[in-house]
């Protein structure tokens, strides 16, 4: 029986609030599993099982798939669609409320694969990045968000979240997914983005400060980096200016032109001037 029939038979009605737009095309689901590089030894963490279509595609390849799903109404649907798999586990819980230490312990080296609910895309991604969950994170997100996650410095899409990703690894856009591939059809296209963590990419001794600098740098995009950091971190202007000179940046520079490596260098220069890491 196909998944649309299973949803119908269970009287399921889609919830906009939970961002329920499901993927049903077998070729696309297999391509996403490939994009994620999932193999037979992998533990996969999925966020948002939906009707279990991606969960099942992952389970045919992975060692084990653990999927979070916030909507209890999907319980009977998932019991049907995943009934034949003995390597899937669905946890009915809001992923944003799941215990951080337990997640890290179980999934630090998992592969995260998810077609993310659009209303909570950024908080989920921030949680994964900040809490060290997943060696790699392959997510289907709105195309506009995918452009931001994979942007180059000095473009309008480049922002604090781009730097945040580049501080811990590297992101690439794997494929665009047209809106017609979703059920029901949303009003925007999506794309699959894969983020690979690269441990010690910069040997950053002050990761918290580097991330904080990037956050402050984009607080007001029209302001210079000196102004944003002076205000955002309550630092004397001379301290910020001399740190910039130290790393070879002009005093008029704007935050959106700096690479992750330059944020790392700037954090070190500020710590050398007595700023708290």
Q: Which residues bind ligand SAM (CB under 6 A)?
A: 18-23, 47-50, 53-54, 68-71, 94-96, 115, 117, 120
CA–CA gap between residue 73 and residue 250 (Å, rounded): 56
Tell me the Cα Rg of the chain: 21
Q: Least Å distance between CB 180 and ligand SAM?
A: 14
Looking at beta carbons only, is 71 or 135 nearer to ligand SAM?
Answer: 71
Q: Least Å distance between CB 185 and ligand SAM?
A: 12
Q: Least Å distance between CB 193 and ligand SAM?
A: 14
**C-alpha angle 62-65-67 in degrees, rounded to nearest 5:** 150
Looking at beta carbons only, is 119 or 198 nearer to ligand SAM?
Answer: 119
Cβ atoms within 10 Å of 129's Cβ, excluding its own: 20
Looking at beta carbons only, is 48 or 159 nearer to ligand SAM?
Answer: 48
Q: Least Å distance between CB 166 and ligand SAM?
A: 26
* 4: Cα within 13 Å, side-chain hemisphere: 7
Looking at beta carbons only, is 82 or 267 nearer to ligand SAM?
Answer: 82
Q: Least Å distance between CB 70 and ligand SAM?
A: 4
Sequence-separated (6 or more) residues with CB below 8 Å from residue 220: 227, 228
Q: Alpha helix locations (H) across 97-179?
A: 100-107, 121-130, 143-149, 160-168
113 neighbors 30 (Cβ within 8 angstroms): no
Looking at beta carbons only, is 68 or 158 nearer to ligand SAM?
Answer: 68
């Amino acid at each position: 029986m196909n998944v649309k029939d299973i949803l119908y038979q269970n009287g399921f009605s889609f919830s906009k609030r939970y961002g329920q737009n499901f993927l049903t095309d077998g070729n696309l689901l297999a391509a996403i599993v490939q994009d994620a590089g999932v193999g037979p030894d992998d533990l996969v963490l999925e966020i948002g099982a939906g009707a279990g279509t991606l969960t099942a595609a992952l389970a045919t390849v992975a060692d084990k798939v653990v999927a979070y799903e916030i909507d209890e109404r999907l319980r009977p649907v998932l019991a049907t669609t995943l009934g034949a798999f003995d390597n899937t586990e669905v946890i009915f819980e809001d992923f944003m409320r799941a215990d951080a230490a337990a997640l890290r312990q179980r999934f630090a080296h998992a592969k995260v694969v998810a077609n993310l609910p659009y209303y909570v895309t950024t908080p989920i991604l921030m949680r994964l990045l900040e809490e060290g969950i997943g060696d790699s994170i392959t997510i289907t997100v709105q195309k506009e968000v995918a452009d931001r996650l994979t942007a180059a410095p000095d473009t309008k899409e480049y922002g604090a979240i781009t730097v945040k990703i580049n501080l811990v690894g590297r992101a690439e856009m794997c494929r665009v997914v047209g809106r017609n591939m979703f059920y029901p059809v949303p009003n925007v296209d999506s794309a699959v983005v894969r983020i690979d963590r690269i441990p010690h990419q910069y040997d950053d001794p002050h990761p918290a400060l580097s991330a904080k600098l990037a956050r402050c740098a984009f607080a007001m995009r029209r302001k210079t980096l000196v102004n944003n950091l002076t205000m955002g971190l309550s630092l004397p202007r001379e301290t910020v200016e001399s740190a910039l000179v130290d790393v070879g940046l002009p005093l008029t520079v704007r935050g959106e032109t700096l690479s992750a490596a330059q944020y790392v260098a700037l954090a070190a220069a500020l710590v050398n001037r007595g700023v708290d890491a």
